Chains A and B, each alone.
Chain A
Amino acid sequence: MPLFLRLLKHKRSAWLSFVSIYALGLSVFLVVNGLAKNFQEEIRVKSKELLEADLRVHARRPFTGAEEGILSRLVPGESRKAEVGGFLSMLRAGPDASRLVQVKAISSGYPMVGGFTFAGASQGRWSGRLEDFRSGEMLVPRELLANLRLDIGDSVSLGNKTFVIKDEYKTRPGGNFEFWEMGSRVYIPLGDMPATGLEQKGSRIFRYRFYMLPENGGIKDAPYLKALRDSLEAAFSDPEVDVSVYTDSGSDLGRSFNMVTAFLKMLSLSAFLLSAVGAAFFFRHHLVGERKTVAVMTTLGASRRSIVGIYVAQNLFLSLLAALIGMALARVWSAGLPLLIHKLYAIDIPSDLPWSTFFIGMALAVCTSLLFGVTGFAGLGRIPPATLIKPLESAPLGILPRIGLFLAQGAFFFALAFADSRSWLLSGLSVGAMGGAFLLLAAMGWAIFKVCWMVRNRLGYAIRIVLGSIRWGREKSLLAFAALGFVAFTSCLVPQLQDLILNEIKVPKGRVIPQLFLFDIQEEQLGGLDSLIRSRGQALVQPSPMVRARLERVNGAVFKRDEGGKTTVEDRNRQQFRNRGFNLSYRDTLSDAETLVAGTFWKGRVPDGAIPEVSMEKEFFKRLKLKMGDTLAFDVQGVEVQGRITSLRQVRWASFQPNFFVLFQPGALDDAPKTFLGTVKQIPDAEAEDIQNRVSEAYPNMTIMNLKDVIGRTVETLGKLTWLVRFLSGFALLIGLAILWLVVDALVSENQRTILLLRALGEPRAKLARLFLAHYTGFCAAAGLTGYFLSLAAAYLINLAVWQVPWIPSPGIFLVCAGASLAVGVLCSLYAAYRGSGQPLRGLLSLSR
């Protein structure tokens, strides 16, 4: 058996701790990373489904010959393509029965992503394949059949052309909701579009071209797609030709998903860094314990290189073993956890871990372990044979090489973070927060010890002995203090960041999720509408007034839009955003989807003669470059209304409630012309259809939209994200606990000699117990609370730099941290008592062996 394994044999429990902690940390890193990547992939596929292709080009007219030339020149030749014509029209089902529909005239090859499911095809009426969808046929949704009291096989007409309803589709490709789509989607063959006679001068008919790019050479990666989009946009002289790629297809979940991804990346890195620190702590501790063995080997004539080689081989062996176990664990968890979660919450989490993750894991485990162990290895060569007689007092490696190594470790983790996140900010924050916290903790520990040492003469002799013991092994004590504080820091930081994220994304239990959205409700219609909906056993939820206005002046100066080129669609959108009117509203109180982030919210109505208060949504406020206290003058349809910005709100847009960028104090806009926006909660399909029909009949001016599918998908995805954040945070904290045990063990071992010595000198056990209780609880509480306060600062800074969401530190985390620190202190003293409970002289003798 090689020497390095034989040496390990005597320290089985120690290397088992090393391997288990390192394997646990690595597995968390792999699982978190793998799940985050899988989830990212799922969102990517969803984005593609939303766009219905890799690339979409559309214009409100047929493409010109020159534009066709650009497309054939710039889009890769092997791409598959499909065409769609889209327009609104009135579908007639009889002399008095007609409905507005969104017509999609589809070519062969459509859809390229996603697909239809049909009611009739599932009953065997036809194949359900679009190759069998022929001229003169139409595919319609169920609600249209119900609205017009139609059946499959009935005839309807669009313009001059009559169509037979071929089938009712249950699901359709795309699924993205376009606000201007006021009617149900119906599908006809593209070849039938001319026969409708609806394409004339002045018609609003959109032409879509969908492309699926070939699967080679990274052609579908985001950078290529972005470059393709940019080159197409530059080539089209008419900015009305719009180019989109799936990587930028809009998603309501964009912000939430980005927040969660950033959090998960930081979490996985922190978990890994934590386990690496734990493993390094162990290995250092192990090497310190091996000094005498090294001194023996040196005395026996072993070369320094071979000594270092033995311990490097030990490190390599253990880290490889940890990597293998960690990968196996990750594999088991990634396969088993989604099944468990599916059973418990009926949520599907993508489970497969890509094989590349394992190779990365293996390389990481070995490199990190070596890098963190290098300080210890370098010191091994400097241990003199005299250590056998007299313990080594100073560290074998000087301060400068150690600072250099610390910086190298930081650089390694920064490179790792950057390779993973591709973000300087996230990498800097993760590594900066972790490295900074470690250094600060060490500095704080040193300062606390210095203060205690200065006042030692006023303390009892036993405490002086403890302080002396700490001073004697100050490096180890400092490291233990920093490691303990670091565990507290990470364990407190993770739940704080988790709270920040969950506050943004979670859909609270009991929240009424709306399904029907009603627009253009006139004030005089509110009562009648409410009665109508109540008569169907439901209620109109949160009807909110909406007043159209235009921002005219800010502090008396004319509010001007940004001037500049308006060549791209984005430029035009930005321009429209800045100079468009606003939908103002007014309320007495904040909704539960809003949080005040600056200023104070009004109480009551605006007093006579006073300028009304205005509350703005935080991001909107920033985009308009306004300041708190600014006086805004709005043109409310010809009448000027002023308001002063007195508060800013953070709005959770995923709350699915009517929310507004600008809120006025009640009293200012009560008489202004307004419409109301209201919702009806999620209800069974038949009830929703019934309400839709009755409202359309009684109030034809109102627009009523059923967003069940869109909101359902959003809620489902938010549920998954919430679960991911909660579960993986808890998972990462497990490592903290495991490392805690290592530190406790090391801390007590360091003081075992002192305990036994004091007992040998006749110190009573009870006094010793009190002494060590004070020592360990003080030590752990100081380290734990320092870690907690550092975590507060880090959470504040990370939130400021990455998410900017409202955050109030939870007192619960402080209490748990303080309680846990004291508990660990008590545990240490009990453990110390246990370790020092035998015969003191025998114990001292065994230690000196």
Chain B
Amino acid sequence: MAIYTHIGRLFQGKARFPAYVMLLFSFLAVAAQKAPQKKLKILILGDSLTEGLGVEKEDAFPALLDAKLRKWQEGFLVINGGSSGSTSASGVRRLKWYEKAQPDIVLLALGSNDGLRGVKVEETRKNVEAALRFCQEKQWQVILAGLKVPPNYGADYAGAFERIYPDLAAKYKVPIVGFLLEGVAGETGMNQADGVHPNERGHERIAENLFRFFKPMLAARFSKAAKPG
């Protein structure tokens, strides 16, 4: 009982201000420790590349990234929001479907089908921008994934398409994964027979690239969350 009496006096005497401050820090510290336990949801919104067409779901890069993040630290959930054949036009509508899931971070990997179908670059830009703004309105952190079309589409089109992503990232000040298929596109042994969709090795490579991208960003996010003020 004596100890409770001493603590009670602490909050009544001259030292009551520092005591209140200490109590506040204690709460913050506890809150910061608990943060990873509430899973941080990363939604990857994309097309067949994300869905993992031709490979098992657990071999697709979202599942591999999920495994890598969990191995690094508990408390993540990566949602595979890939839909084969989808174009950027369906971006906002599909994001609405994920409102229920309440993602914290959204990686937008939209537009590769637009490029392969030769959709006008302005149209793709408009759709990706709309998706990006939707996420920001919902206060979900957005990350853009850069995409390219193969060089056989011609330098003009390929160049204009490629520029969509860094331009939007700069305009909206969001982080960007330079090229989603870095080290995979056009590489022997990384793709399925169609030459478009990554195989298991390709997906592993994408997941590794993304893990390297996310790890420092998430670490900073946690340390920021853990620090007071």
Interface residues of A (CB under 8 A from B): 60, 87-90, 92, 98-100, 158-159, 182-183, 197-205, 239-240, 242, 519-520, 522-525, 548, 550, 552, 561, 569, 572, 575-576, 579-581, 635, 637-639, 671-673, 675, 700-701, 703
Closest B-chain residue to A200, C-beta based? B151
What separation, in Å, do the CA atoms of A523 and B94 have in the docked complex? 11
Of the listed stretches B74-82, B131-139, B219-227, name the one at the interface; the rest are far from the partner chain.
Answer: B74-82
**A204-B150, A204-B152 are known contacts. Are A703 and B117 too (CB-CB below 8 A)?**
yes
User: Is B154's beta carbon under 8 Å from chain A?
Assistant: yes
In the complex, what residues of A have CB within 8 A of residue B157's CB?
90, 98
| Seed contacts A98-B156, A673-B97, A701-B119; 11 additional CB < 8 Å A-B pairs | A90-B157, A100-B153, A159-B152, A159-B155, A200-B152, A203-B151, A524-B93, A548-B84, A581-B51, A638-B97, A675-B90
CA distance A604 to B217 in the complex (A): 49
Q: Which residues of A contact B82 (CB under 8 A)?
A: 637
CA distance A89 to B118 in the complex (A): 8
What are 17 A-to-B residue pairs whose CB atoms are below 8 Å?
Answer: A90-B153, A92-B156, A98-B118, A100-B117, A159-B152, A198-B153, A201-B151, A201-B186, A204-B196, A239-B193, A572-B192, A579-B55, A581-B53, A581-B84, A635-B57, A637-B83, A637-B94
Q: Which of B81, B83, B150 contacts A202 (CB 8 A)?
A: B150
Cross-chain contact A701 with B94 (CB below 8 angstroms) = no
Residues of A within 8 A of B100 (CB): 639
The smallest C-beta distance from B116 to any residue of chain A, in angstroms, reads: 7
Within 8 A of A (CB), among B25-64: 43, 51, 53-57
Asked if B88 is at the interface (CB within 8 A of a chain A CB), the reply is yes
- Rounded to whole Å, the gap between the CB of B131 and the closest CB of chain A is 12
> A200, A203, A675: which contacts B86 (Cβ < 8 A)?
A675
Q: Mark B181-212, 1 if CB is under 8 A from A, else 0.
A: 00001100000111110000000000000000
CB neighbours of A701 from chain B (8 A): 87-89, 114, 119, 123, 127
Query: Which residues of chain A come closer than 8 Å to B53, judged between CB atoms?
Result: 576, 580-581
Contact B118 A576 (CB under 8 A): no
* A-chain residues with CB within 8 Å of residue B116 when the two chains form the complex: 88, 182
Alpha-carbon distance between A198 and B151 when the two chains are bound, in angstroms? 6
Within the assembled complex, what's the spacing in Å between the Cα atoms of A39 and B6?
Answer: 104
Say whether B151 contacts A572, CB under 8 Å. Answer: no
Query: In the complex, which of the residues B43, B96, B186 contacts A638, with contact meaning CB atoms closer than 8 Å?
Result: B43
Q: Which residues of B contact A199 (CB under 8 A)?
A: 152
Contact of A523 among B55, B93, B152 (CB under 8 A): B93
- Chain B residues near A (Cβ < 8 Å): 43, 51, 53-57, 79-90, 93-94, 96-98, 100-101, 114, 116-120, 123, 127, 150-157, 185-186, 192-196
Name which residue of chain A comes closest to B96, CB basis: A673
User: Are A673 and B118 within 8 A (Cβ)?
Assistant: no
Contacts of A200 in B (CB 8 A): 151-152
Which B residues are CB-close (under 8 A) to A205?
152
**Interface pair A561/B56, CB less than 8 Å apart:** yes
A87 and B193 form a contact (CB under 8 A): no
| A88 and B152 contact, CB distance less than 8 A | yes
Q: Which 4 A-B residue pairings sit nearest by Cβ, starting from the closest?
A: A100-B118, A202-B186, A701-B89, A673-B94
- State the CA gap A548–B94 with chains docked (Å): 11
Q: Say whether B153 contacts A638, CB under 8 Å.
A: no
A673 touches B154 (CB 8 A): no
Determine how close the nearest CB of chain A comes to the CB of B193; give it in whole angstroms. 5
**Assembly CA distance A199 to B150 (angstroms):** 10
Known: A159-B154, A203-B186. A99 touches B118 (CB 8 A): yes
Question: Nearest residue in A to B122 (C-beta to C-beta)?
Answer: A700
List chain B residues, Cβ under 8 A from A700. 119-120, 123
User: For B53, B154, B192, which residue has the most chain A Cβ atoms within 10 angstroms?
Assistant: B154
Chain B: CB-nearest residue to A635: B57
Known: A100-B117, A675-B90. A639 touches B97 (CB 8 A): yes
Q: Do B186 and A637 touch (CB < 8 A)?
A: no
Q: Which residues of B contact A525 (CB under 8 A)?
A: 89
Determine if B57 and A552 form an interchain contact, defined as CB atoms under 8 angstroms apart: yes
Minimum CB–CB distance for B38 against chain A, Å = 18
In the complex, the chain A residue whose C-beta lies closest to that of B117 is A182
Q: In angstroms, how far is the closest chain A Cβ from the Cβ of B105?
A: 14
Is there contact, CB below 8 Å, between B154 and A198? Answer: yes
With beta carbons under 8 angstroms apart, the residue of B88, B94, B118, B152 that contacts A198 is: B152
A561 CA / B55 CA spacing, docked (Å): 10
User: Known contacts A88-B116, A202-B150, A204-B195; is A548 also within 8 Å of B97 by CB?
Assistant: no
Measured CB to CB, the nearest residue on chain A to B120 is: A700
**Which of B54, B90, B151 is packed against the most chain A CB atoms within 10 Å?**
B151
B81/A87 in contact, CB under 8 A: no
Known: A204-B196, A638-B80. A92 touches B89 (CB 8 A): no
Q: Which residues of A contact B51 (CB under 8 A)?
A: 548, 550, 581
Cα of A525 to Cα of B118 in the assembled complex, Å = 20
Least Cβ–Cβ distance between B210 and chain A, in angstroms: 17
A182, A240, A576: the one contacting B54 at CB < 8 Å is A576
Nearest CB of chain A from residue B59's CB, rounded to whole Å? 9
CA gap between A580 and B52 in the complex, in Å: 8
How many angstroms from the CA of A183 to the CA of B100 in the assembled complex? 38
B150 touches A203 (CB 8 A): yes
**Which residues of B sit under 8 angstroms from A242, Cβ to Cβ?**
193
Contact A520 to B87, CB < 8 A, known contacts A202-B151, A580-B54: yes
A496 and B151 alpha carbons, distance in the complex (Å)? 58
Is A522 touching B93 in the complex (CB atoms < 8 A)?
A: yes
Give the most central of B93, B153, B196: most A CB within 10 Å: B153
In this complex, what residue of B is CB-closest to A85? B152
Q: Once the chains bind, are A673 and B90 in contact (CB under 8 Å)?
A: yes
Chain B residues with CB under 8 A of A673: 83, 86, 90, 93-94, 96-97
Asked whether A548 lies within 8 Å of B156 as measured between CB atoms, the reply is no
Q: Given B85, B88, B97, B119, which contacts A671 in the complex, CB threshold below 8 Å?
A: B97
Instruction: Determine the chain A residues whose CB is within 8 A of the CB of B186 once the complex forms.
Output: 201-203
Residue of B at shortest CB range from A523?
Answer: B93
| In the complex, chain B residues whose CB is within 8 Å of the CB of A203 | 150-152, 186
Best-surrounded residue of B89, B98, B152 (most CB of chain A within 10 A): B152
Q: Which of A87, A240, A524 contacts B152 (CB 8 A)?
A: A87
A198 vs B118: C-alpha distance in the bound complex, in angstroms? 15
Q: How far is the CA of A290 from the CA of B190 in the complex (A)?
A: 85
Contact in complex: B185, A202 (CB < 8 Å):
yes
What separation, in Å, do the CA atoms of A524 and B80 have in the docked complex?
A: 24
